[in-house]
Amino acid sequence: MEEKVILVVDDEPRSRQGIKKTIERVSHHQYEVITAANAEEAIKRIDNEKIHVLITDIRMPEVSGLELLRKLKEKAKDPVVIVISAYSEFEYAHEALELGVVNYLLKPIAKEKLMEAIEKAIELENQRKKTGMFNKIVDDKLMEMQQLSKYNRAVKEAMDYIDQHYDEELTLKEVAKQVHLNASYLSALFKEELQITFSEYLTRKRMQEAKKLLLSTDFTIAEIAEKSGYQTSKYFIRLFKQFEDMTPNAFRKHNENDF
């Protein structure tokens, strides 16, 4: 399982190191905790590595914690944010919440409150990751079709059979035989009820599974092609490019920093 990285940003060395040591000690070094003395340093670190949780002081010289959050929003960087402050003025908390902060802690921070906030932040980050991966993988059209129950029984059975055997060499004739219809009639039913052909449904299912493997495993492209039901990686790559406007390798590289 991926080690979560927590970035602590505070211009006061004692506070910064105190938070770092508390997290490491209480979590038994479960997380990698790194620090930054100011917003500029924090931005450099966030630009260069994946930060899962950001803990930042709200009042810092030159660039405040709120300004740091604004800059991250502009850059579309979105670690889960916990804000700490020695000031309890409402306007700080209010603006922090508008900038997507999930927790607002006042100094001096109680150890229990800090760890509780971190656990909630990690949980939220995990949910975001799952949602992000789901959105990258799922074919909306396929999902919509699979959720509808209005289809002819034979069409539903054919869809179920494809969903379970997409990694095998499937033909229209073979699937038709499984649902006790002739191939021409099943082909016509697919077009009429799903508004797509049998071939497109099968390809969409295979592409969805291929994307899942690209983002969640270290399998080679050839292995993913085979596990997705394709005899050759060359044909798989060509089809993938038609559906995603990029090669499987490019898809993997483009999304690898997100997960």
Largest CA distance in the chain: 76
pLDDT at 88: 67
pTM of the model: 0.74
Q: Give the list of residues 6+ apart from residue 90 with CB closer than 8 angstroms, or none.
A: none
pLDDT at 256: 77
Angle, CA 221 vertex, CA 219 and CA 222 arms, to 5°: 100
pLDDT at 169: 92
DSSP 8-state assignment for residue 87: -
Q: Give the CATH number of the domain where residue 231 resides.
A: 1.10.10.60
Q: Give the CATH number of the domain where residue 122 resides.
A: 3.40.50.2300
Q: Does 207 lie in the same domain as 108?
A: no
Q: Does 240 lie in the same domain as 153?
A: yes
pLDDT along the chain (259 residues), means of 10: 88 94 95 94 91 90 84 82 78 74 87 94 91 91 83 92 96 96 96 94 97 95 97 96 96 82
Q: Domain range holding 106?
A: 5-134
Handedness of CA 64, 68, 73, 79 (dihedral sign): negative
pLDDT at 123: 93
Please, how many CA atoms are within 13 Å of residue 22, restricted to the half-sphere of its CB? 17
- The alpha helices in 99-230, defined as continuous H runs, are 111-137, 140-147, 153-165, 172-178, 183-194, 198-216, 221-227
Tokens at 48, concatenated: 């260069």
